[in-house]
Amino acid sequence: MPRPFTGMALDRASAERKDPAEIERLLLDPQARALVAADGGVLVADGASPALLRVPLVVRSWSEPILLGLDSGGEPVFAVDLDSLAPGMRAQITDGARLTSLREAGTQLPRAEAGLAAYMAALLNWHRRHRFCSTCGTNTVIEEAGHSRRCPRCGAHHFPRTDPVVIMTVEHERRLLLGRRAGWPAGRCSVLAGFISPGESAEEAVIREVREESGIIAREPCYVTSQPWPFPSSLMLGFDAVSDGGDPAPADDELDEVGWFSLDAVCDAVAERNPVLQLPPPVSIARFLIERWVARKQAGGS
């Protein structure tokens, strides 16, 4: 099963974006189109088939359009931050479109469109948060059509960052370790996850995070798959791991509850017939890993 937010099909135009003359040509291309997003979501065109809104690029009216890439016909596709536009222009663009949260877009849009939405949102999120040089504090300027920023004062170059996060199933005797994070509603549980620390491998992060959050010792972490998670800029690295058991208990401030859940209980939750256990939505890699675990157990896998 493909993960939401993957499958972006544009050519990222890595060579073109390094050539200022080529960028200028793409900006002035009459076939250039812009996708539009705000801090609260992406613009989706109303119609029979859901798709990201594509509007003609108006270079002189929009500041800092970001080149996402080239579509299959070679036409350039840019991203524009709706929040940066004048009120009149915002009203004109949003007429006939709707602002959809990124999580909703991940489930409502076709796979390639959802992946494009994630790509656009992650880039715009980075630009919103990195307008100033982290070295000297000066306003930075866009380079490479939006894939880097440069400080005109100290010359430092800044590039879009992606924060790696491990997320993992942990199993013991056909039971799955699930936790409820602080602030989540009663009954809402997921597999455990956490950021990779400096100087740490992904496998080491799996073992550490499980121990820190639940007190359980995980072993044999095995990489499964990954998913972009632009909230605001993470890359989720999915793992399976096993444990020799134990009594889990919240070991830090991140979880309010943690425990072992039987295969039957998780199966019922996947089918939405468990009144006391609710799983993450289908847009998340957490749900993918849980459903994959269920399918393997039902098929008699280890």
What tens digit of pLDDT does each residue of 165-193 get? 999 999 999 999 999 999 999 999 999 99
Give yes or no for residue 88 having a pLDDT over 90. no
* d(C-alpha 103, C-alpha 44), whole Å: 13
Residue range 4-25: average pLDDT?
A: 95
- Give the pLDDT confidence score for residue 221 in this predicted structure: 98
Q: What percent of the chain has pLDDT over 90?
A: 87
Give yes or no for residue 62 having a pLDDT over 90. no
- Give the pLDDT confidence score for residue 196 in this predicted structure: 98
- Give the pLDDT confidence score for residue 154 in this predicted structure: 97
What tens digit of pLDDT does each residue of 126-166 get? 999 999 999 999 999 999 999 999 999 999 999 999 999 99
- Give the pLDDT confidence score for residue 70 in this predicted structure: 98
Going by pLDDT thresholds of 50, 70 and 90, the confidence category of residue 299 is: very high
Cβ atoms of 207 and 222 within 8 Å: the answer is no
- Give the pLDDT confidence score for residue 61 in this predicted structure: 67
* CATH level 2 (architecture), domain 16-125: Alpha-Beta Complex (3.90)
- Give the pLDDT confidence score for residue 138 in this predicted structure: 98
CATH 3.90.79.10 in the chain, residue ranges: 163-298
- Which residue's structure tokens are 């003609």? 56
Amino acid letter, 27: L
Cα angle value 142/158/141 (rounded, 5°)? 20
Residue range 275-299: average pLDDT?
A: 96
Dihedral of CA atoms 80, 155, 129, 28 in degrees, nearest 10, equals 0
Task: Indicate the pTM of the whole model.
Answer: 0.93
- Give the pLDDT confidence score for residue 135 in this predicted structure: 96
Residue range 70-74: average pLDDT?
A: 95
Going by pLDDT thresholds of 50, 70 and 90, the confidence category of residue 90 is: confident
Give yes or no for residue 292 having a pLDDT over 80. yes
What does the mean pLDDT of the chain come to? 94
- Give the pLDDT confidence score for residue 294 in this predicted structure: 97
What tens digit of pLDDT does each residue of 215-268 get? 999 999 999 999 999 999 999 999 999 999 999 999 888 999 999 999 999 999
- Give the pLDDT confidence score for residue 302 in this predicted structure: 65
Under CATH, which number does the domain 163-298 receive? 3.90.79.10
Residue range 88-95: average pLDDT?
A: 87
- Give the pLDDT confidence score for residue 46 in this predicted structure: 77
- Give the pLDDT confidence score for residue 300 in this predicted structure: 84
